[in-house]
Chain A
Amino acid sequence: MVTEPQNLFYCLLGVLIGMLIGVLPGLGPAATMAILLPIVYTVDPVSAVIMLAGIYYGAQYGGTITSVLLQLPGEASSVVTVFDGFALAKQGKAGTALGIAAIGSFVGATISIVGLTLLAPLVASWALSFGPPEYAALALLGVLLVATIGSGHTVKALIAATIGLLFATVGRDSFTNASRFTFDSLQLADGLDFVVVAMGLFGVGEILYNLEARYGKAHVPATVANVWPSRKDLKQSSGAIGRGSLIGFFLGVLPGGGAVMASLAAYATEKRIAKEPERFGRGAVEGVAAPETANNAAATSSFIPLLTLGIPANASMAMLFAALLVLGVSPGPQLVEENPDLFWGVINSMYIGNILLLILSIPLVGLFVRILRVRPAILAPITALITILGVYTINNSTFDIFVMIIFGVIGYLMKKTGFEPGPMVLAFVLGAILEDSVRRSLLIFEGDPTGFFTRPISGSILAFFVLVVLLPIVQAVRKGRAASAKVEGKDTPR
């Protein structure tokens, strides 16, 4: 299935677009996936999802290149790579850093795909017994974890997420048929289209945000000589690649964890166990290998909650979730049974996609370095046009263009005031499922909300939910106490 020429083509296209946007600072993978969502209406569903998935994991490869060569991470998950990657580049070893990153990325992703292949059907079959209360608890936990673990201030992220849930209620209520927040608009009766909202918040929001920084010149990266790492470099980083794969895999599975957290944790682990931790930050090969391996492993394993439970672990997965819904496919435990072509097609495409990335990333480094010299001003109108014309094609509706623009303005203003649009989009996508599950659960429990806690799985998930809420509060209180004790200690004359 996946080896069909059409699917191979879209896989290649996806990873190439992913690498490209990973290289170009500005649009992230979630924004690019949002902008390209309308493509799911025009090409074969499996091909479309394969391409969107390729964009996501391809971006993890591309993000490394600018981190190493420009000290400018293309992706948040490659920020930590800057520390040692750029130091290596300054020593004339940019090629080594990029080569190690490509190999580590490939190993990490491949181990993670094997894990995904083995684990996903098991999780899916376990989750088949889930009812509305379990889904409600899971969706709630997903929204909370994305808001609390992601970048940015937790309260702000939670506000963004809850507003996302509120936007999801616009339209006709499926239980009572009453109109909510439609202000007598017929176009809003069916609710806000999540593709349009995501394209606005992510796509237009980022395009507008990038306009402010547009006047910058093209970047002039360091030159790259030999991209093949030496045997010594490989030996030195093999442990980091192994550990990074495992850390990435497990952190990627957690909702909200994902690639950024994995890259940080893998780097921290290597520094912690290193015999000479002072080498880190000054060009340690492991400092590149560990985070780059981990972010790819995490990017891959973050497909597990989406494909098996129907819970997107991060904003990019929310875009895939949206794409699947557009295709009439409900992501969740029944996916593997009902749409095996799609389920296994996506997973198998990852094996091929990662081989393509390994093959392409090393010889194409020179090409990507040249792309970095293209002025951002030239790419901007092309992205803007893709977005506007793309959103129009969904329903052939100019109304959608204006809804997208409004959400674009919201996304831009959120960024300016320190609110991340990611949790909002994710909560918006999960909103309908969450409300539906909560209300169905209340019907099952005959109005008694304690029913959520008495069922073993939903009870355990909600207990974890409470833990996630309480832990940062306890930590903050402890930190506050420790800080005030320190201040008191300093103030006390010796």
Chain B
Amino acid sequence: MSERGEQPPPARSRDLLAELEAEVAHEREEHRPPAGGPAYQLVGTLVALAVGVTGAVLAYGYGLGTLRRPGAGLWPFVISVVIVTLSLLLLAIGRHLDDSEKFTRSSLLVLAGLGTFVGLGVLLPVIGFEIPALLLCVVWLKFLGGESWRSTIVISLVTVAAFYLLFLVGLRIPLPHLF
């Protein structure tokens, strides 16, 4: 940002858009965590490659047919081949891209958040939504959000009550519920 005033005006017209795009990219970069590096690129690309290879093998098994009479597997096979080709291309040219983000200690928060999602999914049909939703709010507010116990309890209760009123009373959606 600070360098903007030092750019030599007037820039050539075609370069101006590219210049702006780079500046915007830089602007967004400032708000991002550190880049992951080549290992992240490699793993991401290999996963894509694996998806492509698996897709191609399975699609082949469904039968390719002919162009005149395409089988169930032809379309997914063609797509999988494109995925494999693009992944190999990325493997060749994308090692040094800096668009990945490093996993940090705060990535553990994501695991905890994910746990609450799964927990709610498992408990919802068993004991209704109220208690699991309350627990989710407590975990997210107190442990993931660092709120005080007082605001955690108040916000959690108000939120669950609001959802109860909205879904069960207002929209009359048959959500599993305890009360």
Contact = CB atoms under 8 A, between A and B. Distances in A.
Interface stretch (A6-14, A54-62, A300-308, A435-443): A435-443
A402 interface: yes
Interface string B30-57: 0101001000110110001001000100
A152 B155 CA distance: 38
A211 B116 CA distance: 13
Contacts of A83: 1, 4, 23
Nearest to A82: B27
Contact of B72 (A76, A178, A381): A178
A396 to B, nearest CB: 7
A488 interface: no
A396 B74 CA distance: 34
A155 B20 contact: no
Specify the main secondary structure of chain A where it touches its partner: helix
Main DSSP-derived SS at the B contact region: helix
B72 A175 contact: yes
Interface residues of A, number: 78
Nearest to B109: A211
Contacts of B100: 416-418
Interface in B54-74: 55, 58-59, 62-63, 66-73
Given A159-B83, A418-B97, A408 B124 contact: no
Contacts of B93: 155
A442 B145 contact: no
Contacts of B163: 385, 389
Nearest to A204: B117
Which of B17, B63, B104 has the largest count of A CB atoms less than 10 A from its CB?
B17
A212 B109 CA distance: 6
Nearest to B18: A268
Given A271-B20, A418-B44, 4 more contacts: A173-B72, A212-B107, A396-B174, A398-B124
12 contacts: A76-B28, A80-B24, A83-B23, A159-B48, A166-B55, A176-B72, A207-B113, A215-B145, A278-B5, A385-B136, A402-B121, A412-B110
Interface of B: 1, 4-5, 9-11, 13, 16-17, 20-21, 23-24, 27-28, 31, 33, 36, 40-41, 43-44, 48, 51, 55, 58-59, 62-63, 66-73, 75-76, 79-80, 82-83, 86-87, 89-90, 93-94, 97, 99-101, 103-104, 106-107, 109-110, 113-114, 116-118, 120-122, 124-125, 129, 133, 136-137, 140-141, 144-147, 151, 155-156, 159, 163, 167, 171, 173-175
